[in-house]
Chain A
């Protein structure tokens, strides 16, 4: 099955700096890569996603890049703010039998220091 590895597990940045979280996946058939943000005690919420026919996608301060050849994708947050502090999960989606399943990375705790 699919295996998703995420690094780093913790990341601290100064407010206003950029943050980068990286993920690798194992199944070359994966073709959809969402990123979720989970604030403490809350549910994961989709913040951005990218499909395998696109190399980069941007939404205001967040962007995701995908390198299909190397099987890795990254989340970039610019001009970080204290409210960006949360756990971020990457995921990869592969069609398995009749179902499309998401396999998640282990998460990155991002702390933005004021």
Chain B
């Protein structure tokens, strides 16, 4: 049982390049989330999914797209990276509407130069 796995762990992009971050969970969780973490700003929700084939916008969705083609995977895409997207990205999953905490992945440190 690996929990929540994120790949890659580190990445450096040039402005304008694109990339996809992968999040995989093996806990049969319905809900999955993408957060970004910036110094002094806590964790801010980018997009989330309440089930396979569904996605929704969070607090800071601009510049990102997501897909949830399979229940266990949640992909975060940057179509044209900008320096403002330099951040640590965390994926998380949870059981759903019930009041449970999240299980986080280990994070992806992205630098856009």
Q: Is the CB of A44 within 8 A of B90?
A: yes
Q: Report whether over half of chain A's contact residues are helix, strand or loop; otherwise say mixed.
A: strand
A114 CB–B CB distance under 8 Å: no
Give B53 Cβ to nearest chain A Cβ, in Å. Answer: 13
Q: How large is the interface on B (under 10, 10 to 19, 20 to 34, 35 or more residues)?
A: 20 to 34
Q: Mark A75-114, 1 if CB is under 8 A from B, else 0.
A: 0000000000000010001010111111111110000000
A43-B90, A106-B41 in contact; A51/B102 too (CB < 8 A)? no
How many A residues touch B, CB cutoff 8 Å?
28
A42-B106, A43-B105 in contact; A100/B96 too (CB < 8 A)? yes
B31 CB–A CB distance under 8 Å: yes
Q: Is the CB of B99 within 8 A of A93?
A: yes
The closest CB in chain B to the CB of A107 belongs to B42
Q: Is the CB of B50 within 8 A of A98?
A: yes
A34-B101, A51-B99 in contact; A99/B48 too (CB < 8 A)? yes
Give B100 Cβ to nearest chain A Cβ, in Å. Answer: 8
Neighbouring B residues of A31 by C-beta, 8 Å? 99
Q: Is the CB of A43 within 8 A of B97?
A: no
A99-B48, A101-B58, A106-B42 in contact; A46/B102 too (CB < 8 A)? yes
